[in-house]
Structure 1
């Protein structure tokens, strides 16, 4: 393998550097011409049509893209490998006397024997080429035709730019500012410079819109405001009676457009000037479309959670319940704040068009949500929802047995039967009493049912009462209210008059005598009714007699039931006052 000589390599490196410089410079000049053309074309188009902000952004993007492409091109030429064969071709064209010896030497040097030439012959060729090119400058052989052409074009472009700078410096500088700062409200340069207000944005539907025109520079008697709604036709209105605040050089005009209902695009003209066009979008204020309520009832109520979806967010729940509210709005929100009874409360969590939070039901009242959207618009007249706190009522309680005033001996007893009910649960039932010896109470029930019946036997012996004393008694039922504390329901107070043993026994003996006489009469009536019924059966044609016999039979049956009830009551009274032996009580029960 053979390489070109050191002398030829240095000459080729010099040519390579010049080759890169020529092409990179040509790219720079070409880019300058293109960018200058874009700049001037945009300058004139902007004066004709007045670019919108997006239009100026596009033009700026084109200029930036051209600059970036130029920088990338220069970097590419700096890093690009230029083959020696390319340089040798240009040198051979510039110096025909080489008779392609340089090109042949360059091509054979890396190939050597692989190309079919002997190493000795290749060395001789390199030496011969070195002698033939001894007085030649390879760098001058690089083609600069394109460089010269684009140098001329760039010079012309520079002259044109300088001419613009000298003739219309203000207009050119204004265009440069408009293109560099596309979002800024910089009007096209003119003797009369015009701005229109507001400079775009968003307005809430229904809010009053007033468009303004500001003019500076050459004074004008009037201005024209051009506007259109959505994609409708353009309208124009002449504005006069300019206002000039203080000693200001500004002229101001105003035009009330009315309540905002549609998106409007507008611009203004005055004298030779024209403002930038702007668009004022119209959006609805935030409002609630629907709510989802999740009610967690207090644990002591044993009520399951409730979930409901509705456009109305009215709440009716037990006092102490927690209500989780998820409100859906008509648009994405910035914030949502709870207001209870008209007083602002905590901010709720906002996710897109949904606001979520909770409130606790403690008393009747109202709540509402104060919404703010991402434009800062506040919801007007938010709906007000009612809160009804369902209070836990005290239990109701009744003494079913005896449930009345009564008389008992000092050693008597009372068979008790008490019923109680509550909204959610009855925690306990107690019997309270007051006697000469003191007051007290004892428990009849402990549990948690909504409707409960409990009972027991109350012995009066432990009260040490004496004949003539009065014992008061009543029943109390308590619930499990964990919010306001347990509540108690109470029956009326009943009385037990204590009578002596002998008095009670004498009274009951007298009742027993009356019951025996009634029983004797009842037996006689039964026999008579049976006889009448049998006689009526023998005379089936006598319907009236049969009807009388049947009525008599029914009357006897009712009297029998009444007497049985009286005897049963007397038997219980004997038993509860301990004035009869067990055998006597059993006999009476058999008779009953």
Structure 2
């Protein structure tokens, strides 16, 4: 009774042997086809070149039979030597898949009899385990094992054989003289005495593409000429775009057969209506009919000018950007598009895409741009819109012949937002302890991208009326520095009082209204003069120090409450 594991290993090797054998046969048959095709082509070409008599053709026929016989003998001989036993095949697999680590080769050292009866020094369990381990690794790498015999060479040989055979067959079919030579060589006994044949030369035929044509001005075109029953060395393309003068261009030969050839000439950009034909010298001068290429113009944008009317609050001088299209402007800018086309236009439309910066979660999103029609005056169109967000626009046009523009370009709109004003409290910059007779200096810097409309300081003793100081000498200044000297003595403060102060800024946004910024509230804590002196001198008695700490804790709590 055989082991399933052993049978599985044998079946795997059997499949691999069959695959190798098939690939080997395929490769040898491909070599045979290549050699056979080249042999027939060579002998046919030799027969065509030598033009032998009937006896000479018979000799070549005998030589071809001998050669074909030798090729068949070699094919049979090579196929007969293709034998491989399991151990050689396993060794081949191990060489190509090192990860098997000799498991497959080692497992084949034992037979089914060894599994049943055992073997000197080796237990039945070890043999069974060895087979199972080899089978498991073969299954893990099943795909690699099944494809270890490379098929690329065999398939490449098959493809080469098919290509060679196809080329040889095409040569015979495309050349009557070569086909006749092969026919004579295939059965020379049917050759009769030569008969004088008068060859009738066919007329030369010329075909030209694309012939008559209408196309967009500036596009490219390739002129193709096919000549049948002749293969001229050179062929000229004659072009006329002014109704007076002809200019010649030599066409390139792309390919040729036994009695025909193809020529081409590429024109990268045609700018004028053109008449053309081809001519060459072969059995006299040969010419094609004349053809006409008529050009038309699709609507195209030649220039876009932008007239920028900036919001008044920015105090930016209005400008005109010529030959532009993209724009980077403050929000609220009114833009006039002045579009120049290459021809008179019937209708033109400015199409907007949604803003790239649109936020789906935004509570009050800005309204999207609406498409607008250009007001046309000949080949110039005008339209006006106000920039309120980022976006993209493109312009499409239709002329009076209903020709429409193709692939309009995208132009970008970048809206610069008005940022809130900024302030910096340079001095003191934090809460501070002061004495009742002290003078406190406040220094503040403020700025805005387009100008300030408000810059004030508000301070007061906690519980008393506020004092407001306006630091803005005039409206719309972009950078302002303010300073204020607070005389605590004039405020009649006593130890334990707090002086609070804060700053207010606003810009001059004329679209959505000024953006206001209010600073944090800062405190000046009034402490006794002797306490300041004691702290400066390094502290006093234990009870006084304890009392001072208690007062400080209470003051800090009060500051937090006030904030």
Please state which band the TM-score falls in when normalised by the shorter chain.
Answer: 0.3 to 0.5
Give TM-score, length-normalised by structure 1. 0.37
Q: What TM-score do you get using the length of structure 2 for normalisation? A: 0.39
Larger Rg: 1 or 2?
1
